[in-house]
Chain A
Amino acid sequence: MSQAWLPLITLATSLLVAPLILLLPERAWRARAALNLSAALLKLLLVGLMVVGLYQGREFAFGFTVVPGVEFLLRVDALGMMFAGLSSLLWLATTVYAIGYLEDSPNRKRFFAFFSLCVASTIGISLAGNLFTFLLFYELLTLSTYPLVVHRGHPAGLAAGTVYLRYTLSGGLVLLLGVVGLHALVGDVTFGEREMLRDLDPSYHPLLIGLFLVMLLGLGVKAALVPLHGWLPRAMVAPAPVSALLHAVAVVKAGAFGIVRLVYDVYGIQLTFELGLLTVLTVLSVFTILYGSIRALAQQELKPRLAYSTISQVSYIVLGISLFGPFGTIAGLAHLMHQGLMKVTLFYCAGNYAEELGIHRIDELDGAGRRMPLTSLAFTVGALGMIGLPPVAGFISKWYLGLGAVQAGMPWVIGVLVASSLLNAAYFLPILHRLWFRAGPAHGKGQWPEERCLGRFETSGWLLWPSLATALFSLLAGLLAGLPFSPLDLATLVATEEYLP
């Protein structure tokens, strides 16, 4: 009994918080913070329970029929749990961060309500047991993130919001077409029932290829695959916690996760491989990886550079799943978590620099390592991880990607990885150099753009601790990758399920 309800309760923790927050008055920030934090903690606990249950081989599922032939289904599987674990962990961190970040700013009630809705959607996406449920939450995510993107309400934000809506809504529409097409072909598509499409007559294969490409197009918008990435750098005008969440778990990851579901649980890796669709994914992701990195090089501001870096890094996930073989799968799935941890750290740090010192441009960062050593340390960890240097988590992803490439018989992909590492180094190392090796305002040379002393430490504790915690997690995910319950271990579990019938 309780097992069936567990996914539902998990979903409800964040879904029900939204109206409660709206009921609270704007000034009751303590109550709101307490509500937010307790919901986040509760959800982390519930997800933890489900992960442990999953390792013990228990089944959690909840479902009802909406209309005949269409079912709403929440179900726990290893793949979904990875994503749910990531989003609940980062939700907690980001809630803490957002409370500190939005201190004394207007419309906090609206912000946190939609923030909860947004996280509820990601949890829904991760727990969705069939394509219909997935689509439902996928669209809910689009709508609930819009108010966050335009939160500040200035013209640039509104314009970015419009671009965001255009891209995501049309992407959602295209996805809907694909899902409807698939539904018409085989009925309700439950994740994991791969024989449904596999057993179809080969004469349907061209149709299947077409539907796959249509759905890929729809999902590719959120996953920011080039050339569908245009909204992401524009959405940088959002407040730092939103950018962090957008890049690390919510929107971008939802797209990538959707592609993972599409390949593994709808079509099945075998069928995708036989239809030659993995090559499409490889080419697309390789192009995105290189393009994103090259564009990142040209950015003069911190957040846009991180945004282009996200475009490049998220495609590692797609690259990983496009490499046929267990190692590629492990790489893609592990990177889903690793990238989230590292990127969220980088965005927190960018937010810290902006809040504490008013820094937005990269050339203003000179000597910031002395003024904000812990933030800069966290940023360094994140950046080194992005480059793929051990012992940060990014190295583990890169290692398995390389192994996967050889296993899939495409050693040239290693060349792409190496080139991408070099490009990552070319746009992250200059930042680190400025942070640590240049003299700046902290050494009595010039002035910070807008210095505020927000707290006892180098900045407000609400901003500092989440950054340090995620940095530590990214470090540990790499350093102790061999331990149970590490991202690598979870990814290995999924890959074993996928390849061993």
Chain B
Amino acid sequence: MTATLLLILAILWPLVLMLRSPLRLMMEQEALWRPGPRPKLLDAWWASAPLPALALALWPGETTLLLEGWLLGGVWQLDEARRPWLLFSTLLWGLAGVYARGYLIAEQQAGEAGDGETFRRLTGLALLWPLTLAGNLLLLLAEDIPSFYLGFAVMTFAAYGLVVHADNRDAHLGGRAYLIMALFGEALILGGLLWAAGSAETLTLTGLRESIVDAEQGAWMAAILWLGFGVKAGVVGLHVWLPLAHPVAPTPASAVLSGVMIKAGLVGWLSVLPLGDPAAGLEPLGRLVVVLGLVGALGAALFGITQRHPKAVLAYSSVSQMGMLTALVGIGLTDPALWPALSVAVVLFAAHHGMTKGALFLGIGISEHPPRLPAWLLWPLLVLPALSLAGALASGLASKWAFKGVLYEGGHGALVIWLSLAAVGTTLLMARALWRQWRERGHHAIPLLGTMPLAWLFAIVAATSLPLWLPVAGGVVDSPWPPPDELPGLLWPVGAGLALAGLGFYGLADITRRRRVVWRLMPGDLWWPYASLARHLGAGLKAFGDGLETRGSRLRAWLVAQEKGAMAWIDGLTRYERRFRQLAVPLMIGVAVLLLLGFWLE
């Protein structure tokens, strides 16, 4: 009972908090139009949005809620498979919310003091942040397809407002890339969902997975859905929005974007693809997925190290990490027998990446506005999650061990090598991001006990200790840490990466002096060719349309001319009128004569 209430409250509470700001503004309508103090938007209540969901994730026991009148029949559910996702997502949302109150304090103060422009932007954030959260929670909790899609769409579109918060040129470019790619994703998802749900006439995600297994063209359905969610998950080729949107969003928004929201793509895959079903017959798709995942994992690492903006580097690192996860999902398709064990590793890896990447993003704000901590303490704390993401220690080491063990057992040794190479790339990316952070570090110190440093510190603690508290498949993993004799095999990529980074560091100054081209690689890589292709296509279509239009107007002109001619002819008929009148008398006489003749002849 309590769990069901919490389930409803988890979705409702962010929405209530969202409505709270406009209601307050409406009540103080007068205040809005005159210059002067304004209400505080990002208060403690605002940051409390994910709390009911967090309580739900910690509440023992499973629960299901049936909503008959809702859409086509709602089924919301919290089960053991959803719990880890819900737990780490709400935790990161909560930390990012607390962090945001500190991060945006300057805007907050300016808004309160009466700066209309800042207040407007802040209002947008205050409204859309809880809405995005509500969408995210709904997609995690929904079991019926319409609610799931609703949550996904709400999260996607509301997050646009977070991306364009800065309201400058770069932000709008990032926002546009984000929105256009997201739309293509949504469209593919809708198509795939309709097709798969329609062929089995099912309304639940479980039914959808079965439908893909049974359907004749299940492979195509799976491929469309995989691509659709792939936009969010940053599959190579569809990832172009990530490096454009991440650097421009406010740092706490980047953290949830990279930590939680791109995981929604992965959640989508796990929800709709019949992973681990031996009858699915999706091996060809699986092989493609593995290859594309590895291409993304390595390519993003290579491209990312050329970036200057630390957040862009971290965004490429997200693409790279998601590429590794994609490859693991691909294994779930090619080797279904391995999936039960692999899925545990995937959840652990995803949660680890979510929390750690969140901590790293939050750390960027910290290096820009360092708290009153000695440098010998501050920088190791910034390095810690980076090392963890590279797999050297803590949760990174544990999650790497988790999937490596499974893959070796399943005989996918080659994949492990490739993933280790990607880990080398991750190490390089981390070195690059930290280096850029160091170069762009700020000096204006903020108090240590503010919301920003505290949220960041808590994020680091939570991220590194993740395997100890994340309930995967019903409980915490028994022995998350690898035995000591496995360590060399797990740690060599980090070592190699660090060595390469060191080499690069010494060679770098030389390279940059001689070849400036390296630095002109724009964030967003494939976005630029896509954009120019779309421009050409648009111009071609417009020319074609104009051609059709002129042809159409020519046809219309011809028809009008014909009609005018016909009307003129009809008007001309009046000329015959007089002649008819003149004819009438002879006609009558003629007829009379004929009649008379007839009578006479008879």
Q: A395-B146, A480-B69 are in contact. Are A414 and B153 (CB under 8 A)?
A: no
Asked if B117 contacts A443 (CB within 8 A), the reply is: yes
Whether B150 contacts A390 by the Cβ 8 Å rule is yes
- Complex-state Cα separation, A405 to B191, whole angstroms: 11
Kindly specify which of A104-112, A140-148, A418-426 makes contact with the partner chain. Answer: A418-426
Report chain B residues within 8 Å CB of A396: 71-72
- When distances are taken between beta carbons in the complex, the residues of chain B under 8 Å from A419 are 187
Q: Whole-angstrom distance from the CB of A215 to the nearest CB of chain B? A: 23
Number of B interface residues at 8 Å Cβ cutoff, please give it: 36
A425 pairs with B183, CB closer than 8 A: yes
| Contact residues of B between 49 and 74, Cβ < 8 Å to A | 68-73
Knowing A402-B194, A406-B199, the reply to whether A480 touches B70 (Cβ < 8 A) is yes
The proximity string for A residues 441-474 relative to B, scoring 1 for CB distances below 8 Å and 0 otherwise, is 0011000000000000000000000000000000
**Taking the complex as formed, is A16 at the interface, i.e. its CB lies under 8 A from any CB of chain B?**
no
Complex Cα distance, B68 from A429, in Å, reads: 31
CA distance A422 to B124 in the complex (A): 25
Which of B71, B116, B124 is within 8 Å of A390, CB to CB?
Answer: B71
CB-based contact B70/A405 at 8 Å: no
Query: Do B72 and A481 touch across chains, with their CB atoms under 8 A apart?
Result: yes
Contacts of A480 in B (CB 8 A): 69-70
Number of A interface residues, CB 8 Å? 40
Return B128 CB to nearest CB of chain A, in Å: 10
What mask results when residues 188 to 201 of chain B are scored 1 for a CB within 8 Å of chain A, else 0? 10110111011101
Q: Is the CB of A422 within 8 A of B198?
A: no
Shortest CB–CB separation between residue B250 and chain A, in angstroms? Answer: 15
A414 and B194 contacting across the interface, CB-CB below 8 Å? yes
The docked-state distance in angstroms from the alpha carbon of A437 to that of B165 is 9
Within 8 A of A (CB), among B139-185: 146, 149-150, 153, 157, 161, 164, 167, 179, 183-184
Determine the main DSSP class of B at the interface with A.
helix
Q: Is the CB of B69 within 8 A of A418?
A: no
Query: Which residues B185-237 have CB closer than 8 A to chain A?
Result: 186-188, 190-191, 193-195, 197-199, 201, 217
Q: Within 8 Å CB of A478, what residues of B? A: 71
Task: Check A19 for interface membership: any CB of B closer than 8 A.
Answer: no
Check B150 against A399 for contact (C-beta < 8 Å): no
The reply to whether A399 and B70 contact each other, CB–CB distance below 8 Å, is: no
Residue of A298, A405, A406, A407 touching B545 (CB-CB under 8 A)? A298
Contact check, B545 vs A415: say whether CB atoms are below 8 A apart: no
Contacts of A411 in B (CB 8 A): 195, 198-199, 217
Chain B residue nearest to A484 (CB atoms) is: B69
Tell me the smallest distance from the CB of B479 to a CB of chain A, in Å: 44
Query: Does B120 make an interface contact (CB < 8 A)?
Result: yes
The answer on a CB contact under 8 Å between B117 and A402 is: no
Q: Which chain A residues lie closer than 8 Å to B116 at the CB level?
A: 443-444
Check if B545 sits within 8 Å of A399, measured CB to CB. no
Are A391 and B71 interface neighbours, CB within 8 A? yes
CB A415 to nearest CB in B, in angstroms, measures 7
B194 lies within 8 A of A437 (CB): no
**A482 touching B120, Cβ below 8 Å:** no
Tell me the nearest residue of chain A to B193, going by C-beta: A402
Q: Any chain B CB within 8 A of the CB of A85?
A: no
Q: In angstroms, how far is the closest chain B Cβ from the Cβ of A442?
A: 9
Which residue from chain A places its CB closest to the CB of B215 in the assembled complex?
Answer: A406
What residues on B are CB-neighbors of A390 within 8 Å?
A: 71, 146, 149-150, 153
Shortest Cβ distance from residue B86 to the other chain A in the assembled complex, whole angstroms: 21
Query: Do residues B194 and A403 form an inter-chain contact, with CB atoms below 8 A?
Result: yes
Q: Which residues of A contact B164 (CB under 8 A)?
A: 437
A418 touches B72 (CB 8 A): no
Among candidates B72, B120, B186, B217, residue contacting A443 with C-beta atoms closer than 8 Å: B120
Cβ of B179: which chain A residues have Cβ within 8 Å of it? 429
Residue from A398, A399, A407 having most chain B Cβ neighbours under 10 A: A399
Return the chain A residue nearest B116 by Cβ: A443
Chain B residues near A437 (CB, 8 Å)? 124, 161, 164, 167
| Docked pose: A422 CA to B146 CA in angstroms | 19
A349 to B120, CA, bound (A): 23
Most chain A CB neighbours (cut-off 10 Å) among B150, B167, B191, B201: B191
User: Smallest Cβ distance from A451 to chain B, in angstroms?
Assistant: 15
Return the 5 tightest CB-CB contacts between A and B, nearest first: A402-B194, A406-B198, A390-B150, A483-B69, A403-B198
A residues touching B (Cβ–Cβ < 8 Å)? 294, 298, 327, 370, 373, 388-391, 395-396, 398-399, 402-407, 411, 414-415, 417-419, 421-422, 425, 429, 436-437, 439, 443-444, 478-483
Extra A-B contacts (10), CB below 8 Å, given A399-B72, A481-B69, A482-B69: A370-B120, A373-B22, A390-B146, A402-B190, A402-B197, A403-B194, A417-B191, A417-B194, A429-B179, A481-B71
A–B Cβ pairs within 8 angstroms, 18 of them: A294-B545, A373-B22, A388-B190, A389-B157, A399-B146, A402-B191, A402-B197, A406-B198, A414-B198, A417-B190, A417-B194, A418-B191, A421-B187, A429-B179, A429-B183, A436-B124, A437-B164, A480-B69
